[in-house]
Chain A
Amino acid sequence: MAFGLRIFTQRTSDTIAQPILDADNGEVLMHTQPSVSIVLGNRSPESPGTLYISSKQVIWVSDVDRSKGYAVDFVSISLHAVSRDPEAYPSPCIYTQIETGDDEEEDEDEDEEQQEIMDWSSGISKIKEMRLVPSDPSQLETLFEVFCECAELNPEPMLGEPEEEHNWIFSADQLNSEALGEDASNWTFSENLIDSIGHTNGDNDLAHNVLQLHINDQCFEDAEEMDQEHDKNNSHQ
């Protein structure tokens, strides 16, 4: 998976900024916002440009130099928010944090300052913050909602897989009660809290199972620790 911000050059032509999207994989344009400045990390604002929000990524293309553009996938956007306080940033904007896939803690602020004299495209894969400043602040709420909608269209590839590893059988009783059409996907925690523990659909076998689970407390705690270890490993990738 490609992490972080990248240079974007896939336009339909040199005169039209419209980006080329991956239509074969279902990528569609969700929103276009003209007259948007972009601020990467601590760099100076670049403006003006046009913001294209697709179902997969956020693309900004400069209006002045159409060969200049940036893109970031929604899977790399950790957080987005509407920022209005002039003390945090002089203009109201959409504030985003970008996951770079680079775990090393570097002294980025100093790096950034040195890079201002370098080429505009250098070091952008390490950018961790991006601000999008529309000339019309009334568009911020719309942009925020579009970002939310698109983020939900782009779950982690791993989490998007159906959960298939939960077919363990713990007891013969379970075989009976589970086989009789008690579908896991229909079970909701919120609707029937009490009944869902041990007495679902009046099936007393389940209460028996809960008792057995208490007996097996120790092994469940081990399993939880293993899960935590697993998560820890994942987060360091």
Chain B
Amino acid sequence: MLFFSYFKEIVGREVVVELKNDLAIRGTLRSVDQYLNIKLENTRVVDQEKYPHMLSVRNCFIRGSVVRYVQLPPDGVDVELLHDATRREARGG
């Protein structure tokens, strides 16, 4: 549940969600649930020429299982803290 908790911390920040089908969507993180389903607002497709049909979309719901990466706001990440917490979670802490 570590990343669920972490993502809740950065609700309201801008992220880029990269899907396994290579679509990348920039937007404001509106909410996240325990399955890491992600709701974005004010979305923009990163590669608009390749995905013109997504231009109009202003908010969307992305299924957690299709997310490959989430690019985080650099100042929203305490790398050391997240590192330690990740290790902690990995050993069942």
B58 adjacent to A82 (CB under 8 Å): yes
In the complex, which of the residues A88, A151, A152, A178 contacts B54, with contact meaning CB atoms closer than 8 Å? A88
Q: Which A residues are CB-close (under 8 A) to B71?
A: none
**Cβ–Cβ contact A81 & B55, under 8 A:** no
Question: Which among A17-25, A56-64, A119-127, A163-171 touches the partner chain?
Answer: A163-171
Q: Give the number of chain B interface residues (Cβ < 8 Å).
A: 40
User: Within the complex, what minimum Cβ distance (angstroms) separates A207 from chain B?
Assistant: 11
Report B1-23 residues with CB < 8 Å from chain A CB.
Answer: 1-2, 5-6, 8-9, 19-21, 23
Secondary structure at chain B's binding surface: helix, strand, loop or mixed? mixed
Q: A87 with B55: in contact, given A79-B62, A166-B92 (CB under 8 Å)? A: yes
Complex interface residues of chain B between 29 and 83 (CB less than 8 A to chain A): 33, 35, 37, 39, 43, 52-66, 68, 81
Q: Are B6 and A189 in contact (CB under 8 A)?
A: yes
Query: Once bound together, how far apart are the Cα atoms of A189 and B9, in whole Å?
Result: 9
Q: Inside 8 A of B58's CB, which chain A residues have their CB?
A: 81-82, 84
Main secondary structure of the interface of A (DSSP, over half): mixed
- Chain A: minimal CB distance from B2 (Å): 6
- Residues in chain A near residue B57, CB distance under 8 A: 81-83, 85, 88, 95
One of A8-16, A44-52, A190-198 contacting the partner: A190-198
Looking at the assembled complex, report how far the CB atom of B68 sits from the nearest CB atom of chain A, in whole angstroms. 7
Chain B residues, CB < 8 A from A196: 85, 88
Task: Give the total of A residues in contact with B, Cβ under 8 Å.
Answer: 49
Q: Which residues of chain A come closer than 8 Å to B81, judged between CB atoms? A: 193, 197
A98 to B90, CA, bound (A): 32
- Evaluate contact between B61 and A81: CB separation under 8 angstroms: yes
Give every chain A residue within 8 A of B54 (Cβ-Cβ): 81, 88, 95
Task: Say yes or no for A43: interface residue by CB 8 A criterion.
Answer: no
Let me know if B37 and A151 touch, CB within 8 A.
yes
A88 to B58, CA, bound (A): 12
Judge whether B33 and A189 touch: CB under 8 Å: no
* Contact status A166-B61, CB under 8 Å: no
Give the B-binding residues of A (Cβ under 8 A): 75, 77-89, 95, 97, 99, 129, 144, 147-148, 151-152, 155-156, 159, 166-168, 170, 174, 178, 182, 184-185, 187-190, 193, 196-198, 206, 210, 213, 220, 223, 235
Q: List 21 A-B contacts (CB under 8 A).
A: A79-B62, A79-B66, A81-B58, A89-B56, A97-B21, A129-B53, A144-B61, A151-B37, A151-B61, A152-B37, A155-B35, A156-B35, A159-B64, A166-B90, A170-B91, A174-B91, A178-B92, A185-B1, A213-B87, A220-B90, A235-B68
